[in-house]
Amino acid sequence: MLNELHALPEGILERDTRGLQDLLGGPTLIHLPGDRQPALFLSVLLHGNETVGWEALRGLLQHRLARFGELRLPRALSIFIGNVAAAAAGVRHLPEQPDYNRVWPGSELAPTPEHDLMRQVTAILRTRGLFASLDIHNNTGLNPHYAGVNRLDHQTLHLATLFSRTLMYFRRPKGIQAMAMGEFCPAVTLECGKVGDRHGLEHARDTIDACLHLAALPQHPVPPHDLDLFHTVARVEVPPALSFAFPPGQGDILFTPDLERFNFRELPRGTAFGRVTGHHEPYLDARDEQGRDVYARFFHVAAGELRLSTPVMPSMLTLNEEVIRQDCLCYLMERYNDHVPH
């Protein structure tokens, strides 16, 4: 069930992510007044082990309380604090739960109570109206800070470049917060580096603060030379039937220990992702934005190695085996600046 509040609960800003479950009891939507309307929307803890969103927000609100004796927000703020149960356990989501960032309106997953929850949140926010939406995440691999966008309109691109000039445009997976909010306001996903990265926390906090102080988002084009836009051409998973590992482990696929260093690097054809055993091709499940199998376009096996068949740039590669199973191995991207609207 959704908790909907119109003020901060007593003591919430003293709670880290593991302490929110005891205080809130479940997913909570909080509306705070400000000088301008409509509100900026923030979602945090859609993944329970990605702490940057809540830590950045509570740091910002603590600073304003200390400075002014009250919040005195320059713009109204609506906050969705998501999977507090998973946050208490320090995991992405509990075994019996779906991924909280795959169950928003438009999801392709089988219906769950969490789908109903996100429909309720979306309906409330649509009725109230929003200025913009930020969904704030950590990631597990060595990635630069970047913004994910699902639309290429001017206001969305301006919002994204407040955070980073590096942007990733994607249309899958479905059911994410930014796609749901993007139906009625500019919406982006902020990827703030690894958990515990101080720079990521400060970067997220500064972006929230900048958005709260904006009177409007520009409607003129973003100059193409002011951003680096990449488009995801494939989402890559390890098939459930295959085992994998990193050295010194063993599996059907033994990935190279330097795998996450491939992120946001333009890799040449023939780059090896690791060694393989047996005869299990396709060793990876690679799907384009229409869900079509594109494994043979991007990968092949030669001399016992899983190699790239074409030059490509990966993102979100990680050495975290649990995240690879729960989410994916990586995304494959192409440069997309020629598609920036003029």
Three-state secondary structure along 94-144?
CCCCCCCCCCCCCCCCCCCHHHHHHHHHHHHHHHHCEEEEEEEECCCCCCC
Confidence of residue 157 (pLDDT cuts 50, 70, 90): very high
Residue 278 has pLDDT above 90, yes or no: no
pLDDT mean over 281-309? 96
For residue 195 the two structure tokens come to 């958990």
Residue 140 has pLDDT above 90, yes or no: no
**pLDDT at residue 339, rounded to an integer:** 86
By percentage, how much of the chain surpasses pLDDT 70?
100
How confident is the model over 305-341, as pLDDT tens digits?
999 999 999 999 999 999 999 999 999 999 999 889 8
Residue 141 has pLDDT above 90, yes or no: no
pLDDT mean over 157-186? 97
Residue 279 has pLDDT above 90, yes or no: no
CATH of 3-222 among 3.40.50.720, 1.10.3720.10, 3.40.50.10810, 3.40.630.10: 3.40.630.10
Residue 184 has pLDDT above 90, yes or no: yes
Looking at residue 312, what DSSP letter applies? B
Please tell me the least confidently modeled range out of 25-34, 110-119, 277-286.
277-286
- Do residues 267 and 314 make contact, with C-beta atoms less than 8 angstroms apart? yes
Of 223, 226, 229, give the one whose Cα is nearest residue 167.
229
**pLDDT at residue 111, rounded to an integer:** 97
Q: How many CA within 13 A on the CB side of residue 179? A: 17
pLDDT mean over 135-149? 94
Burial per residue of 118-129, b for 16 or more beta-carbon CB atoms within 10 angstroms, e otherwise: beebbeebeeee
**pLDDT at residue 160, rounded to an integer:** 98
**pLDDT at residue 342, rounded to an integer:** 80
pLDDT mean over 243-254? 96
Residue 297 has pLDDT above 90, yes or no: yes
319 Cβ contact list (under 8 Å, min separation 6)? 140, 141, 246, 257, 259, 260
Residue 280 has pLDDT above 90, yes or no: no
How confident is the model over 7-18, as pLDDT tens digits?
999 999 999 999
Phi/psi at 309 (5° precision): -95, -10
Residue 277: other Cβ atoms inside 10 A: 13
pLDDT mean over 226-252? 96
DSSP 19-46: GHHHHH-S-EEEEE--SEEEEEEEEE-S
Average pLDDT, the chain: 96
223 Cβ contact list (under 8 Å, min separation 6)? none
For residue 39 the two structure tokens come to 């509100």
Question: Dmax of the chain from CA atoms?
Answer: 67
By percentage, how much of the chain surpasses pLDDT 90?
95
Residue where the block lists tokens 């779906």: 98
Residue 224 has pLDDT above 90, yes or no: no
Where is pLDDT greater, at 58 or 281? 58
For the chain, the structural domain boundaries read 3-222, 232-339
